[in-house]
Structure 1
Amino acid sequence: MATSKKKTAGEHPALTQFKQSDAKKVKVAVSDIDGILRGKYLHRDKFLGAAEPAPGGGFGFCDVVLGWDMMDVTYDNTTATGWQHGFPDALARLDLNTARHVPWDDDVPFFLSEFVNADGSAHAQCPRQTLKRVLKRAEKMGFKVMTGMEFEWFNFLETPQSWAAKKGVGPEVLTPGMFGYSLLRMNQNRDFLNAIMDDMLAFGVPIEGLHTETGPGVYEAALGFSEALEQADRAILFKTGTKEIGAGFGIMPSFMAKPHQQLPGCSGHIHQSLSDGKNNLFFDAKNPRKMSPLFESYLAGQVACLMEFAPMMWPTINSYKRLVDGYWAPVKPTWGVDNRTASFRVIAGSPKATRLETRCPGADVNPYLAMAAVIAAGLDGVEKGLKLTAPPITGTNVGGEHIARAPRTLIETTRIFEKSTIARDWLGDGFVDHFAATRDWEWRQWLDAVTDYEMKRYFEII
């Protein structure tokens, strides 16, 4: 059946470009609660129907995507979705601004989507909508939020089949030894690294820097700075895309926060600044630290209340294995000037470069939710006009000895989050209740599990 290639007056350029192409299908995806992209191919005609302007546009996507965990096991404690509702279709709306092509999938057109209610309003449990809710409030305050994400991750010489055969034990690392910033190790896997750099750029995910990190087979990538929603889109696409690219080389990337007890964990640092559309509002040339009063209030907000959003930064059982003393991951809500041992690293210099780096999140985050958390915490400080009362730490927590460390378990942070009036104010009751329930589920799966650690410790001796 022939399909129209005519441009409709006022239509989105991405839609016009698609109509003028010979593409027969489109790949679309939405984020689940854990930050895993769930998607499908759509036939050309189905896509064109879904791309119609609201309220007629959109396509059905089973709401189990928000009602199961990363292993496709349905939650038993949620009310927004579940067996009691029969898992109907939710309405997914395409964001035509996310148009791109997938270089490693024959340049198939690709679009991100988000969940909406039947009346077109934002779906309370949708991760992308949760970030947009925070950014809309920032816009009302007169701010454009600029962000950049960095990820560290391990790479293994495994396939899904080989890893299943090993039953989750003993993955083979891509390269041996602790060799950060190594040109030698980069050269050993240059085809893989070049594919990440080049294919990601073609995919609309520019990478500012890519290098080996300290740890066997560990890499780090810094994504190009952008507006916050675009950055979160880039981040979730980077994690998925890296896995897809790696599979083509027989490599399995892992964004687990802490794959090995004796090795450093993997971070998901978030750089932030506020703009009025032209100027970096965090910069103040007259301040000795080059920090504006706005920057100080934003930082004070994160210092004061980021723990109330903690499960959005540390969302898994494994997240908390990264938060150990003596490693690179900060364990206290401390701040410092260009100090990588602090949770909040102030990078102050030029009008362009002045920013905050929040170093708490791990690589296992859902980028939409981690970004929503740090921005909400910072803007809460701005709304309340908070002042920095604690001095910056120096060295490793020098000056922060009496500051309480972060909780060590997911259930502890979940209980704080669930009771937080600040989290509910910024994210909404519908999201807080649902996300807290999903983290409670994640914790209970851990409680029921018999682990390799327990078998090694107790099996013979007890």
Structure 2
Amino acid sequence: MDKQQIAAYLQEKNIDHVKFAFADIDGVLRGKLIHRDKFLDGLKDGFGFCDVVFGWDSADVCYDNVELTGWHTGYPDKYCRIDLNTMRHIPWQNDTTFFLADFTQSDGSAVPACPRSLLKKVIKQCEDMGYHPEFSQEFEWFNFSESPKSLQEKGFANLDTLTPGMFGYSILRPSQQSAFYYDLFNQLNKFNVPIEGLHTETGPGVYEAAIQHDHALAAADNATLFKTAVKEIASLHGITATFMAKWNADLPGCSGHIHQSLWSKDKSQNLFSSATDANKMSDVMKHYLAGQLYCLPHLLPMYAPTINSYKRLVEGAWAPTTVTWGFDNRTTALRVINDTVGHTRLETRIPGSDTNPYLAIAAALASGLYGIKNKLELTIPNTVGNGYKDAAHGILHTNLKEAAVAMQSSDIAKELFGDDFVQHFTQTRMWEWRQYSKAVTDWELKRYFEII
């Protein structure tokens, strides 16, 4: 609907308030509940938002190493704009009308730190090349019979998982939590975040959901909304959901795999598929795949953005550690799925569930397009067998500092996303590393407190 239609709808339904939100650099949704009149008035010029939302971390601690905003600028307002195409209703909040926003201005310029604006720029490049980008992200996450208050009281230790034991693809476990399980599926679909499948994964209280594929921007919107929606629905059942990549050293990590393909503009032809190629892969797909492999070491923080991300990227944890690809191989960084023409796609397996979907999808799409633009040859052979043992073409950085330093100095990253974004984003990752480096962990206490 356009502005006039939405205004008429709100008037007809006697809706006097609207909620809107945007994703910050960590993928955390920030937003407001505003009066209908303010909402309609702001559709022309945007809504002023204190730009501290791009100047602090996920704990609202202000960065001291970014140029975009800070005490040196006085933290002024920047204007975000609501995307009317994202209108939906929150069924578990009395059908509150909801919109997504970003910081793309009417002249096409954007705040360099706005993840959704960055993805929109990459998508425009893709569409200007004649492609329709089809994407989807899937998530694993753990559920606990805890509240935010009980987590604090317990010091995040000795937590009560929703269910016990390792029971992947269980029919029994969801039936024991059927109210929550079916509420997730039904409420998310009503929220216009359509779920393709939902099941338990191996681990106590862990679920996995695949979101239906869609245009890249809608897919990133759905993935971002999915994470917050799951947390809100869970809280109504006395449950806390976490999307940490690895919350427990002894349990599997949580993935956020990205599935993608390029189609003709009218979506009639999957341009990744070829009937004449021995492996059913088109030249477009091969160049795209080669681009992701080539760019991967330059963009790793966009796939693995937290300290915790790298606790998942270890051998034998169902997450990749090497620059590899393979056919239906879950030990490689990139997995080619080509069983049918319609299903032919690439799965990028590096991201965990802690990713910012806008940045992870932007990284995947931009690096794939880089391969197409430069006609990169797929010189790295496909891995057969254990991808952890195939380090001939490189290994992934093992911590956030290494990955951020590499991206900060990368000409490839700057070519793809611009110097302003690269500098801001990598500085926020370096800040994250500094906060971690000052922390005294439980591991250190247990190892050194008495003995040393």
Partner of 1:328: 318
Q: Offset at 1:189?
A: 1.0
Match of 1:44 in 2: 36
- Measure, in 2, the Cα distance between the counterparts of 1:331 and 1:317: 16
% same residue:
52
Find the partner of 1:147 among 135, 144, 157. 135
Q: Residues 116, 148 of structure 1: CA spacing in aligned structure 2 closer, same or farther, 3 A cutoff?
A: closer
Cα distance in 2 for residues equivalent to 1:23 and 1:147: 33
Quote how far apart the aligned CAs of 1:142 are.
1.1
Check the 8 A contact 2:321/2:388 in 1, yes or no.
Answer: no
Residue 168 of structure 1 and its aligned partner are, at CA, apart by: 2.3
Q: Is the 8 A contact 1:392 1:399 kept in 2?
A: no
Give the Cα–Cα distance (whole angstroms) in 1 for the partners of residues 429 and 386 of structure 2. Answer: 31
Aligned to 1:296: 286
Checking the alignment, whether the CA contact within 8 Å between 1:335 and 1:342 is kept in structure 2 is yes
The answer as to 2:230 corresponding to 1:242 is yes
Describe the SS at the equivalent of 2:85.
Answer: helix
Are the equivalent residues in 2 in contact too, given 1:125–1:431 (CA < 8 A)?
yes
* CA positional deviation for 1:129: 0.5
How do 1:277-426 and structure 2 match up within 5 A?
277=265, 278=267, 279-397=269-387, 400-426=390-416
Q: Which residue of 1 aligns with 2:10?
A: 18
CA 1:381/1:13 → structure 2, altered by over 3 Å: closer, same or farther? farther
Question: Structure 2 length as normaliser, TM-score?
Answer: 0.97
TM-score by length of 1: 0.95
CA distance in structure 1 between the partners assigned to 2:34 and 2:47 by the alignment: 10
Match of 2:154 in 1: 166
Give structure 1 stretches of 5+ with no counterpart: 1-6
Tell me the equivalent position of 1:260.
248
Question: Which deviates more from structure 2 when the two are superposed, residues 130-139 or residues 360-369?
Answer: 130-139
Q: How far did 1:421 drift?
A: 1.2
Partners of 1:255 and 1:150 in 2: how far apart? 12
| Higher mean C-alpha displacement, 111-120 vs 288-297 | 111-120
d(CA) in 2 for partners of 1:366, 1:273? 20
Give, in whole Å, the separation in 1 of the partners of 2:358 and 2:9.
Answer: 28
What SS is found at the alignment partner of 1:346? strand
The amino acid across from 1:35 in the alignment is G
Compute the displacement of 1:349 (Å): 2.7
Q: 1:124 deviation in Å?
A: 1.6
Amino acid at match of 1:26: V
Change (3 A) 1:250 1:421: same
What does residue 189 of structure 2 align with? 201
Q: CA deviation at 1:118?
A: 8.4
- Per the TM alignment, residue 399 of structure 1 is displaced from its structure 2 partner at its CA by 7.6
Query: Cα 1:175–1:398, aligned 2, differ >3 Å: closer, same or farther?
Result: closer
Q: How far, CA to CA, are the matches of 1:213 and 1:397 in structure 2?
A: 22
Count of matched residue positions in the alignment of Structure 1 and Structure 2: 450
Paired residues of 1:334 and 1:392 also in contact (CA < 8 A): yes
Distance 1:215 1:131, change over 3 A: same
For 2:91 and 2:245, locate their aligned partners in 1 and report how far apart those are by CA, in whole Å: 28
Q: 424-433 vs 236-245, which deviates more?
A: 424-433
Quote how far apart the aligned CAs of 1:117 are.
5.1
Per-residue CA distance 1:214-261 (angstroms, 9 max, x = gap):
011110000000000000000000000000000001110000000011
Inter-CA distance 163–398: structure 2 relative to 1 (3 Å threshold): closer
Partners of 1:16 and 1:300 in 2: CA distance: 50
Alpha-carbon distance in 1 for matches of 2:151, 2:375: 51
1:57-76 equivalent positions in 2, closer than 5 A: 57-76=45-64
**Which amino acid in the other structure matches residue 70 of structure 1?**
S
- Per-residue CA distance 1:91-134 (angstroms, 9 max, x = gap): 01000000000001100100000014586622221010011111
Aligned to 1:210: 198
Deviations along 1:62-104, whole A, 9 cap, x unmatched? 1111110000000000000111111111101000000000001
Q: Does 1:176 align with 2:164?
A: yes
Post-superposition offset of 1:11: 4.1
Cα distance in 2 for partners of 1:111, 1:12 equals 16
Deviation at 1:193, TM superposition (A): 1.2
Query: Aligned with 1:325: secondary structure?
Result: coil
Amino acid at match of 1:247: S
